[in-house]
């Protein structure tokens, strides 16, 4: 299956390829892939596997950003969903566990959406509430302990494989596919972009901006809960303090790398996933190069600034002037 490349995606694809090539230069075994126990292994596969939670978060975040919003609570929602999944895993059937965890994510998203769309609170602040309180709620569920489980069904979501591909990768790819079909295949994407570009004009044009806004936050909560399940299944447990910590920032970074404007109105689902994978490839590269993982944050900071500078309206004005100058 191939999806149409977005017209504006070339710099992002180039950046991803460059990061991969740097990794290859640093560690010649980077592209080595081997099959073991019916599952593919290797650093290259690992980029996709480890990048899955952030990729899922960025799939939710990208739509929120498209409506001129932001969702700071995704890390906390991950912690809540992971805590619920890990607590129920050994005593309940898998469908119950998944329904409970995903349902909690949907509820969190609904809460954020109502605060933003109905009460009219700025998105940063509305989602800040759940970001602060959410981790407390997650700790309430795990009673402050690190809950572990042994259920092999749930563990498959982290370490299992389908046709040789790790389950997190398959899961992310299917969520991306479903989202692209549902959002770009219908007028939904247009409605979301219109809401972000000018909410008032869209409302006057007959778009249900309120419902659209609530829906994107609910979607973001759902994606975050899915990421939380994957993260919990990966380590066979839930740590309410550290699960998803700072991942909201990675997700925002992925969306920014994807070229979505933080002022809303344009977005690309595929590029957001690519952005998340680029971040993960950089993380892997830093580790492979033998640098201490502490370099991660500094490198990320520099990348954010460079991407923002490249997107800055002032700087593009300069570029236009330079281009116009007669040679």
Partner 1 sequence: MTRYLPVIVTAAVFALGYAICALQFPAFLSTRVIANLLTDNAFLGILAVGMTFVIISGGIDLSVGSVVGFTTVFLALAIETWGIPPLAAFMLVLFVATLFGATMGALIQGFDMPPFIVTLAGMFLARGASFLLSTESIPVTAPLYSAVSDFAFRLPGGGRLSVVGMVMLAVFFAGGIALHLTRFGANVYALGGSRVSTGLMGITVGRHTAAIYALSSFLAGLSGIVFSLYTSSGYSLSAVGVELDTIAAVVIGGTLLTGGHGFMIGTFLGVLMQGLIQTYINFDGTLSSWWTKIVTGVLLFAFIAFQQATLALARRSVRGATAKGATP
Interface with partner 1 by CB under 8 A: which residues?
Answer: 70, 115, 119-122, 124-126, 128-137, 139-140, 144, 240, 249, 252, 256, 262-263, 292, 294-302, 304-305, 308-309, 312-315
For partner 1, the closer CB: 215 or 255: 255
Alpha helices in 67-93 (DSSP H): 74-88
For partner 1, the closer CB: 116 or 175: 116
Give the H/E segment covering residue 225.
helix 209-235
Alpha-carbon span 264 to 62, nearest angstrom = 10
What are 112's two structure tokens?
A: 């954020």
- Kindly state the smallest distance separating residue 140's Cβ from partner 1, in Å: 6
SS3 at position 271: helix
What are 295's two structure tokens?
A: 């370099």
- Kindly state the smallest distance separating residue 131's Cβ from partner 1, in Å: 7
Neighbours of 8 (CB within 10 A): 12
Which positions ≥6 away from 125 have C-beta within 8 Å? none
For partner 1, the closer CB: 18 or 140: 140
For partner 1, the closer CB: 44 or 111: 111
Alpha-carbon span 136 to 173, nearest angstrom = 32
What are 72's two structure tokens?
A: 């700071």
- Kindly state the smallest distance separating residue 246's Cβ from partner 1, in Å: 9
- Kindly state the smallest distance separating residue 249's Cβ from partner 1, in Å: 6
Which positions ≥6 away from 203 have C-beta within 8 Å? 209
For partner 1, the closer CB: 70 or 231: 70
- Kindly state the smallest distance separating residue 87's Cβ from partner 1, in Å: 15
- Kindly state the smallest distance separating residue 130's Cβ from partner 1, in Å: 7
- Kindly state the smallest distance separating residue 133's Cβ from partner 1, in Å: 2
SS3 at position 326: coil
Alpha helices in 118-185 (DSSP H): 123-142, 152-159, 167-184
For partner 1, the closer CB: 139 or 198: 139
Whole-angstrom Cα Rg for the chain: 20
For partner 1, the closer CB: 64 or 207: 64
Among 71, 79, 89, 226, residue whose Cα is nearest residue 138: 79
Alpha-carbon span 57 to 110, nearest angstrom = 16
For partner 1, the closer CB: 27 or 139: 139
- Kindly state the smallest distance separating residue 320's Cβ from partner 1, in Å: 15
């Amino acid at each position: 299956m191939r999806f149409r490349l977005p017209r504006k995606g070339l710099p992002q694809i180039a950046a991803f390829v460059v990061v991969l090539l740097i990794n290859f230069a640093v560690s010649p075994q980077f592209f080595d892939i081997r099959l073991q126990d019916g599952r593919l292994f290797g650093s290259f596969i690992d980029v996709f596997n480890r990048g899955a939670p952030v990729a899922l978060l960025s799939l939710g975040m990208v739509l929120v950003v498209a409506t001129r919003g932001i969702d700071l609570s995704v890390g906390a929602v991950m912690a809540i969903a992971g805590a619920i999944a890990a607590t129920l895993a050994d005593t309940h059937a898998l469908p119950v566990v998944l329904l409970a965890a995903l349902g909690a994510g949907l509820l969190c998203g609904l809460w954020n959406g109502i605060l933003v769309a109905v009460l009219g609170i700025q998105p940063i602040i509305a989602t800040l509430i759940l970001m602060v309180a959410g981790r407390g709620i997650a700790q309430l569920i795990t009673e402050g302990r690190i809950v572990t489980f042994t259920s092999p069904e749930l563990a498959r979501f982290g370490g299992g494989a389908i046709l040789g591909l790790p389950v997190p990768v398959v899961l992310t790819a299917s969520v991306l596919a479903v989202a692209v079909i549902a959002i770009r295949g219908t007028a939904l994407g247009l409605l979301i972009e219109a809401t972000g570009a000018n909410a008032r004009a869209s409302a006057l044009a007959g778009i249900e901006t309120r419902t659209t806004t609530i829906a994107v936050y609910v979607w973001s909560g759902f994606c975050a809960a899915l990421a939380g399940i994957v993260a919990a299944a990966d380590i066979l447990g839930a740590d309410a303090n550290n699960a998803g910590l700072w991942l909201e920032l990675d997700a925002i970074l992925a969306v920014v790398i994807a070229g979505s404007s933080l002022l809303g109105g344009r977005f690309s689902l595929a590029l957001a996933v690519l952005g998340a994978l680029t971040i993960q490839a950089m993380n892997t590269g830093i580790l492979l190069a033998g640098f201490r993982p502490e370099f991660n944050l500094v490198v990320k900071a520099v990348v954010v600034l460079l991407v923002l500078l490249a997107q800055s309206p002032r700087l593009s004005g300069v570029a236009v002037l330079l281009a116009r100058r007669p040679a």
